[in-house]
Amino acid sequence: MNSTRTVHLAVYDTFADWETGHTTAHLRQNGFDVRTVGPTTDPVTTMGGVRIQPDLALADLDQEDSALLILTGANLWDAGDDLAPFAAKARTFLDAGVPVAAICGATAGIAREGLLDDRDHTSAVSFYLAATGYKGGERYREADAVTDGDLITAGPTEPVAFAREVFAKLGVYEGEKLDAWYRLFHDSDASAFEILNAES
């Protein structure tokens, strides 16, 4: 098990801002360092127009220094092969036993890389992934988010379920607290607040 407390967040032009906010904010609040990884270290601009200066370039990312790689959605995933190197890096991570979490368009990117052919997974809709020509259609699951081994997938409307799976994988919250976190942020269940903030 990788003992590092550093999580890497992939960032690139048209990055979908809303998809990873819960994940990264609560990782930071629970002792993880979140570092951004771009195609290069040149600034990128999110879908919402936010400019991000990546901490490091993809070529310099070593899976041995990471607890998790997060691949976010972006228009670029379906506009050509510009982000294919990120999917290839995901393969390197998974081959080394380091988790990867992919949401929205990133699921199509890793499908093209062949990473969903033999793993349970989800995405926006099944036919979105089918259009990639991948061979994993029988492993598609109609679910908010899916974890299969070291790979987490989710669709674009499920940032809270995506975060829940990441927290479970990294042991950020467990059991009753994980359930309470999800009920608070997904269901607006105020009764979950006290459980989440109770002393362990």
120-155 burial, b for 16+ CB within 10 Å, e for fewer? bbbbbeeebbeebebebeebbeeebbbbeebbbbbb
Q: How far is it, in rounded angstroms, from Cα 4 to Cα 7? A: 8
What the block records as the tokens of 88 is 């290839």
Annotated active-site positions, please? 104
Strand partners, 57: 38
Q: How far is it, in rounded angstroms, from Cα 200 to Cα 189? A: 20
